[in-house]
């Protein structure tokens, strides 16, 4: 098996691990803050052990701190959105992160957008609007709003991890989970937190499989899987997440939300393919 094939399979496995977040969160009868805190506590332990085993250095600097804040914010918003709205709405609205990143670059970094950039922004915003028109899928206005904020934090994570060396990236990842744990775990004393067999298994699966080990798998996948392939395979999370919830709990988004989700996923995926090809072409030196 070639290195590229192995990296592709690992990335697909990583996306499948990420996709369990919706159903596991739904199955744990805890407050969303508490779930996010314990999930990050377990993940921080796994990531910390991986850093020690792979001899990665702990770097505390402005970039790693920015990564940690973006990651912690995304963790709380994603879990909260999943609790308040459908899993499909929560993960799809978070998937709009590249669009928010484009808007940030245009407004604050004065980057000139290309025609496809404008198109994906308008398409994604149209898809988001459809989510807020949906009244039949069990989703709520609050959950959808939190999911959009989760997308903003996700865009911040992309922005802060761009062109950063590996030690800083993993340090930010570790500190972000520690920050989320410090904030979220103590809320167990404020909200009813029953430690049943289901909740304990669920939180262990969230922390170990869905978050902790998935980042370790991603670290190995990214070494040989091309960036464009990683970006496209990560879309499997968006597709599989609501599937697990539907077959386990019978939850389904409304027809308008489904249409909005299709618009967002197709638009962002096509733009990702186009942008990846443009980047590859520009990287080829002129003869």
More confident residue, 134 or 214: 214
Q: Cβ(23)–Cβ(245) under 8 Å?
A: yes
35 pLDDT more than 50: yes
Q: Is residue 162 very low, low, confident or very high in pLDDT (cuts 50, 70, 90)?
A: confident
Q: Report which DSSP code applies to 9.
A: H
CA separation for the pair 184, 43 (Å, rounded) = 13
Q: What is the pLDDT of residues 246-273, one digit of tens each?
A: 999 999 888 888 899 999 999 999 998 8
CA separation for the pair 146, 255 (Å, rounded) = 21
Q: What is the pLDDT of residues 57-85, one digit of tens each?
A: 999 999 999 999 999 999 999 999 999 99
Q: Report which DSSP code applies to 164.
A: -
pTM summary value: 0.91
CA separation for the pair 99, 10 (Å, rounded) = 26
- Lowest average pLDDT, out of 29-38, 187-196, 226-235, goes to 226-235
Residue with tokens 């942008």: 275
Which distant-in-sequence residues (6+ apart) come within 8 Å of 170 by Cβ? 47, 50, 51, 56, 219
Q: Report which DSSP code applies to 206.
A: I
Q: Report which DSSP code applies to 285.
A: P
287 pLDDT more than 50: no
CA separation for the pair 262, 253 (Å, rounded) = 12
CA separation for the pair 55, 223 (Å, rounded) = 17
């Amino acid at each position: 098996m070639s290195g590229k094939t192995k990296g592709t399979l690992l990335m697909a496995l990583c996306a499948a691990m990420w996709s369990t977040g919706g159903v596991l969160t739904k199955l744990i009868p805890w407050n969303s803050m508490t779930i996010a805190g314990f999930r990050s506590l377990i993940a921080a332990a796994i990531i910390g052990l991986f850093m020690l085993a792979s001899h990665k250095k702990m770097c505390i600097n402005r970039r790693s701190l920015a990564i940690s804040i973006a990651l912690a914010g995304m963790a709380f918003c994603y879990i909260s959105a999943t609790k308040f709205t459908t899993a499909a709405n929560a993960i799809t609205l978070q998937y709009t992160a590249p669009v928010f990143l484009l808007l940030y670059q245009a407004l604050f970094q004065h980057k000139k957008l290309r025609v496809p950039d404008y198109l994906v922004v308008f398409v994604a915003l149209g898809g988001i609007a459809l989510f807020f028109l949906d009244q039949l899928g069990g989703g709520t206005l609050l959950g959808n709003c939190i999911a959009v904020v989760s997308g903003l934090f996700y865009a911040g994570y992309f922005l802060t991890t761009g062109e950063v060396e590996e030690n800083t990236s993993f340090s930010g990842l570790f500190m972000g989970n520690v920050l989320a744990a410090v904030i979220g775990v103590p809320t167990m004393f404020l909200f009813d937190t029953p430690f049943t067999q289901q909740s304990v298994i669920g939180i262990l699966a969230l922390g170990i499989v869905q978050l902790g080990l998935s980042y370790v798998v991603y670290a190995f996948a990214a070494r040989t899987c091309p960036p464009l392939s990683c970006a496209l395979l990560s879309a499997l999370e968006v597709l599989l997440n609501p599937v697990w919830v539907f077959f386990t709990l019978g939850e389904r988004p409304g027809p308008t939300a489904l249409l909005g989700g299709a618009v967002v996923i197709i638009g962002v995926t096509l733009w990702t393919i186009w942008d990846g090809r443009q980047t590859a072409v520009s990287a080829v030196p002129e003869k």
